[in-house]
Structure 1
Amino acid sequence: MRRLSALFGVLAMAAGALLFSASAARAAWSDWTGHGGKVYGTPTVTTWGPGRLDVFAVATDYTLQHRVYENGRWLPWESLGGHLTTSPSAVAWGPGRIDVVAGNVDGGVQRLVYDGVWRPWETIDTGTYRYAPAISSRGPGRLDLFTVGRAGTEDSGLHVKSFANGAWSGWTSLGGDLTSAPAAVSWDAGRIDVFAKGGDNSLHHTWADNGVWGSWESLGGGISQAPGVASWAPGRLDVFARGTDDALYHKAFDNGWHAWEWHAGVLSSGVSAVSWGPNRIDAFVTGNDQAVHQKAWS
C-alpha cells in the first residue's frame, strides 16, 4: 500500500488522541493510504471477519469496482459490471456472504449478491428515491434496506424494508427531514442505528431496539454529505462525515456521545466505515483526485 502523495501529505494528524477507554488509548489513527482508481461518489466497505475488507466503488463508466484486503495484502481492483446511478452500500452477514445495493437507471434499487460466486444483478425495488440506498444486517439471513423519499411525493423521510425467512417485507415510513443518503449499522440482533444529514445540515440519528423505533435526534456538527457508521461491539458506535471544510470528522458513542473530532483530509465524497473487531475501524472516502483513500484506527 502506498502513502498518500503530496496531495494528502498535509493531512496527517496527531494519532492516539481518542481516550474513550483504556484500551482505546493504546490504539492510534493511521495516516491516509491511497488505493488509486478513478471513481464517482462515495466508496463503501464491509467485512466478514478479522483481517478481511471488501471495498466497492463506482467507476467512471458506472460499473461497480471491487477490491479485497485479505491475508495482510490488497488484491487488484476488479470490475463487477452493472450500471450504477448512485453510490453503493454493502454488508456481509457472515463469512462468504455479501450483499451490495445501489440505484439503477429506472430509479429503483438493484442488488448484487456474493455467496461463493457473484450472482447476476437483480432489481429488488422499483420505487424512485432521492438518494442512494443503504443496507445493514442483524445476522445471517437478515437484511434491512433504507431509502430516503418516495416516488411522486415531497417526502424527505426515511423508509425501511426488511429481508427475513427468504422474503422482503413491505416499506415502513420512519419520518425525519433528511438531505442525504442514510447509513445504517446493527450492533446485535435487536438493534439498528441509522444516520443521515438533516435539513439543518447537522447529523440526524434514529434507532430501533427490538423492533421499536426511537425519535429522531440531532447530534450537531455541520456536515456536507452522507455519513458512514461502524460498530465494533454492543453499545459502541463510530460515525464519520465530511465537514463543510471538506475534512473528515468523527463522533463516537460509548456510554454517551463524545464530541466531534477533526481528522483532516480533502474529501470529495461522503464516508463509509466498518469494524472487524474491537479497536479496529477502517474509513474510506473519495479524495479530490477521484481516487479511493483509507484511514484506519488500530
Structure 2
Amino acid sequence: MSSHIYLRRVTNTAKAPLWLRYSDTRARDQDVFLPGGASVDFSVLCGQPGTPLSDRAASDGVIISIAGVERTIVCKGNQLVCDGGRVDGKFGEVVDLGVEDRRIVSIPVDPVAGPDLAACAWLPQQFAYFGLNRERQAFEKACVRGAWGGWRELGGPIGLTGRMAAVSWAAGRRALYALDQAGRVHEEDLSRGREQGWAALPHAGTRLLQLSAVSWAAGRYGLYAVGEDGKLHERWWAAGDWKGWNDLGAPAGVRLTGPVTAVDYVAGRYALYAAGSDGHVWERSAAARWGDWTKTPFQFKGATSLASGRYGPRKYVVGAVVGGEVLVREYAKGWKPERSLGHPPQSALAGPLAIAHADGALNILAAGVDGAVYLLRWAPGSSIGAWTSVEGA
C-alpha cells in the first residue's frame, strides 16, 4: 500500500480572496486566484488539468505559496502537515491543514494577508493606482486627464506581501510603500518621474501587518501601520527628513487588527481609521495634538481593506468592500448613513480597495473576484455612475 497522501482539492476557508502559487520538485509553477470559500482541484493547480490525480503526491515535496508566504507540504505518517512558514530546509512547528478522507486539504488563511491596491493623485488631473503582479512585483498604472496609460513595472524586493500605501505630499511628488513578509516597510520614491530604487525603512520594533499613508500639509506626510502587537505605529516625514517610529497605542481593551486607512480633511488635520478585535472600526484624529480613540458607527465587518478620500474641506468618505460590493460612510458636518456603491455587473468585488481624488471626483478602484480591476468615478452628492473595467488590468 502506498504511503503517499494524494491531494485532490485546495480550499480557501477564509472570506478574503487570495493568490496561490504551486511549485513542486519537477519545477512546475502555477498561479491561481481563489475567492473566499472557493476550491480548486489540485490537478488544475499544478498546471496539468488533464493529468490523473493519482500522479500528484504530497510527498513529492510540494510548496504552496499563500499570499507570498511559502508552506511546504509533506506526509508524516497518515497526516498531511506543513512547516507553517518559509522554506529554509528545516521544518518548524507542524500544522495540521485539515485533511478530510486523506484526499482533501483545507488551508487556513491569515485574514490580513493578501494582495492590496493603493492609489494617489499628485496633480489635479493625474492619479495612479498600484498593485502587485503574480510575481509579487509592484506596478503602476496612471490616468492623465481621463486617459489610462500603459503598465509601469516598479519591481520590488523579494517577499512583498501586497500590503501597500501610496502618498503625494506636493505637486508632482509621490512615493509607494510596501510591506514584506517580515513586516518591514520598503519605499520606492517616484518623485522624479522614474524609479529611484527600493529602500528599506528602519524596523518598527514589531512586525507590521497593515499600512496606510496620508499627507496633511505640503512637505509633510506620515505612514501608519497596524502591528502584530495590536497597536498603531507612526513614522512621518517633515523638513526633508524622517522622524522615528512612534507608538500610537490602541483603544482601551482592544487590539487593533487592521485594515487601516488615513485621510486629511482640512489643512493640518487628518484622521486614522483601523479595525479592532471587537469588530468595530476605531478613529483617532490629529491636529495640534492627537485626540483620543473613538468608536465609529461603521459596520464594515469582515472587510480586508479600508480606503478613504477627501473631496472638500471637512468632507471625505471612508469605504470598504463587504459582501462583494463597496460600502461607504460620508462625513460632511457629521456622519451620513451608510450607502452602497454597488459592484460591476460582471463581477462581485474581492476586497482590495483604493481611492484617489482627481478630475473633480473620487476615483474608486476595486479588485473583482475575477481578478480584474474596476473603476467608479463618483462625486458625493451626485448620482452614482457605472463601474468600468480598467483597460488591461
Give the structure-1-normalised TM-score.
Answer: 0.79
Matches within 5 A, 1:210-249: 210-223=288-301, 224-243=303-322, 245-249=323-327
Moved more, 135-144 or 167-176: 167-176
Match of 1:103 in 2: 179
Matches within 5 A, 1:271-282: 271-276=353-358, 280-282=361-363
CA distance in 1, matches of 2:287, 2:227: 23
Match of 2:135 in 1: 61
CA distance in 2, matches of 1:262, 1:233: 21
Pair member with larger Rg: 2
Percent identity between the aligned chains?
23
Letter in 1 for 2:179: G
Letter in 2 for 1:246: G
Contact kept in structure 2, 1:58 and 1:87, CA below 8 Å: no
CA distance in 2, matches of 1:210, 1:187: 14
Match of 1:202 in 2: 280
Moved more, 229-238 or 207-216: 207-216
CA distance in 2, matches of 1:44, 1:281: 14
Greater strand proportion:
2
Report the RMSD for the aligned CA atoms in angstroms.
Answer: 1.8
Contact kept in structure 2, 1:53 and 1:69, CA below 8 Å: yes
CA distance in 1, matches of 2:149, 2:276: 37
Letter in 2 for 1:238: V
CA distance in 2, matches of 1:182, 1:53: 21
- Counterpart pick for 2:147 among 70, 73, 90: 73
Shift of 1:188: 3.4
Match of 2:349 in 1: 267
Shift of 1:277: 6.4
Match of 1:17 in 2: none
CA distance in 2, matches of 1:190, 1:71: 28
Match of 1:172 in 2: 246
Letter in 2 for 1:206: R
- Counterpart pick for 1:126 among 195, 203, 212: 203
Letter in 2 for 1:273: I
Give the structure-2-normalised TM-score.
Answer: 0.61
Shift of 1:269: 1.9
Contact kept in structure 2, 1:232 and 1:276, CA below 8 Å: no
CA distance in 1, matches of 2:209, 2:284: 18
Shift of 1:130: 4.2
CA distance in 2, matches of 1:202, 1:107: 24
Moved more, 185-194 or 49-58: 185-194
CA distance in 2, matches of 1:237, 1:129: 30
CA distance in 2, matches of 1:248, 1:260: 10
Q: Cα deviation per residue 1:56-79 (whole Å; 9 max; x = unaligned)?
A: 011110111110111331011221
3-state secondary structure, aligned to 2:135: coil
Letter in 1 for 2:126: R
Shift of 1:133: 1.7
3-state secondary structure, aligned to 2:187: strand
CA distance in 2, matches of 1:97, 1:130: 25
1:142 aligns with 2:220: yes
Aligned length: 253
Structure 2, unaligned stretches of length 5 or more? 1-113, 380-393
Match of 1:250 in 2: 328
3-state secondary structure, aligned to 2:349: coil
CA distance in 1, matches of 2:146, 2:240: 35
Moved more, 163-172 or 245-254: 163-172
Q: Report the CA distance shift for 1:226/1:216 in structure 2 as closer, same or farther (over 3 A).
A: farther
Q: Report the CA distance shift for 1:220/1:181 in structure 2 as closer, same or farther (over 3 A).
A: closer
Q: Cα deviation per residue 1:156-183 (whole Å; 9 max; x = unaligned)?
A: 1211121112222222222223222311
Letter in 2 for 1:120: G
Q: Report the CA distance shift for 1:145/1:210 in structure 2 as closer, same or farther (over 3 A).
A: same
Contact kept in structure 2, 1:148 and 1:158, CA below 8 Å: yes
Shift of 1:202: 3.0
CA distance in 2, matches of 1:163, 1:189: 16
Shift of 1:125: 2.5
Determine which structure has greater relative contact order: mean sequence separation of CA pairs < 8 Å that are 6+ residues apart, divided by chain length.
1
